[in-house]
Amino acid sequence: EELEEVEEIKIDPPKFVVRTTVNVNMQLEASDAVQGKGFHIFSYVCMGLCACMMIATIVLYFFDKNSTNLVMAALLALALAFLIYNKHSAPKKAMARWEQNLKRSFGTNEIHLVTEFYEHSLFQTLEENEDNMSDSLYSELTDMKETEHLFLLRCSKRQWYFVEKKGFKVGNADAFQKFIRERIG
């Protein structure tokens, strides 16, 4: 009865471990960061153009008394009102839907992610459903955005990893930022 030698596989411990709580406020912060400044500038330019065109059609009405100009001004006023309403209410409505889906799926209004960062890859697990795990090689990450509370790592057009700055259990935010920037490029 010879004992077989079992080769022990050594797995290096993670360089960083982060617990991230995602709630409506974090989701809204991430959405704002992902949209970028270009989106906000474009929406304000559209509002400004509507306002200028509305004023111009009202001025034209006083010069030629053509009621078509008043109809155009009214339509532009409606368009401007819609743009302003949509700019301020759409994110809140989207977050309310997101929170309802969260409550329906997990019975809570926030979820908890645990992300482990190794030398060449990362693993993220949803605490509320540990069967839900994502993993990526760093070569799959294409961008990193930073907000007040989060690092957002883009893996694909619609997938982002949320990493809460105050959630580090192993490592710290400053060392992580340097580590991940070297890997994203």
Residues 6+ apart with CB under 8 A from 95: 24, 27, 28, 31
Q: Is 56 helix (H, G, I), strand (E, B) or coil?
A: helix
pLDDT tens for the chain, 185 residues long, are 455 665 655 678 999 999 999 999 999 888 888 876 777 788 889 999 999 999 999 999 888 988 899 999 999 999 999 998 888 888 888 888 989 998 998 888 999 999 999 998 999 999 988 778 888 889 899 999 999 999 999 987 778 999 999 999 999 999 999 999 998 85
Rounded to two decimals, what is the model's pTM?
Answer: 0.72
Whole-number Å distance between alpha carbons of 60 and 106: 58
Phi-psi region of 65 (alpha: psi -120 to 50; beta: other; left: phi over 0): left
Whole-number Å distance between alpha carbons of 151 and 104: 27
